[in-house]
Amino acid sequence: MRAKNAATRDRRADILVAARRVLAEKGLEATTISEIVSQARVAQGTFYLYFSSKFAMVYALAEQMLERVLVAVHKEALKATSFSETVEFGLSATFREMGEYADVYAILNNGGGLVENPADWERLFEPYYDLIATLIRRWQAVGQIDPAVHPEIAARLVTSLVERAVEDCYLYHPGIAPEIYIAEVSRFVQGALTGGTTSRKHA
């Protein structure tokens, strides 16, 4: 059973690797399932065992990217000893992991417009909202974030801001170093969530 499950994961992974290669070269419209399966060296029927359509495959690639980001951010957050470090480490991890998908980021970034049910796209971000809300509550408890901040709402706003910054960096202004975006977003987020709390506490 384990060998079968491993083979299933491998075939799915092979299809996604091939899909990413073709998407990066030809774009979404020109990419065909027949070319993907040819590069993945699987039968066309095998593709449909894992994905109902080309758009479902794009969704899976976006999910893969976001899962990698979530793992990286969580790992970095565990290292942080302050709210400031949490923000800086988390942003660096986000930009680094999403930068690995720069070849297809324009396509994945538009994934929300490809799904039949927008709620499916929103569901991809729920783990981020939960993680960030948890981190906000953690630093509120020790006085490093304004207690008036609503963790769940702030988590959604922070996620949207970071997503927009990554989009701006990798799609519209690739000539500007990610480090500059990270510094600006970090300053913005810390200023918004501390409300002066951190500076007063450490004064």
Q: Give tens-digit pLDDT for 75-86.
A: 999 999 999 999
Return the closest-CA partner of residue 157 out of 123, 121, 133, 124.
133
Question: Which CATH number does the domain 54-202 belong to among 3.20.20.60, 1.10.357.10, 3.40.50.1370, 3.40.640.10?
Answer: 1.10.357.10
**What pLDDT does 196 receive?**
59
Q: Give tens-digit pLDDT for 139-172.
A: 999 999 999 999 999 999 999 999 999 999 999 9
Question: Which CATH number does the domain 1-51 belong to among 3.30.70.360, 1.10.10.10, 1.10.10.60, 3.30.70.20?
Answer: 1.10.10.60
Q: Would you say 125 and 66 are in contact if contact means Cβ atoms under 8 Å apart?
A: yes
Give the residue ranges of the chain where pLDDT is below 50. 3, 198-203
**What pLDDT does 195 receive?**
85
123 vs 55, 81, 95, 120, 155, CA distance in Å? 16, 30, 21, 5, 14
- Output the CA angle 67-25-40, nearest 5 degrees: 65
25 vs 19, 29, 32, 104, 146, CA distance in Å? 10, 11, 12, 9, 47
3-state DSSP call for residue 198?
helix
* Cα 48 from Cα 29, distance rounded (Å): 19
- Output the CA angle 61-64-65, nearest 5 degrees: 90
Q: Would you say 46 and 18 are in contact if contact means Cβ atoms under 8 Å apart?
A: no
- Domain ranges (residues) in the chain: 1-51, 54-202
**What pLDDT does 119 receive?**
83
Q: Do domains 1-51 and 54-202 have the same CATH topology?
A: no
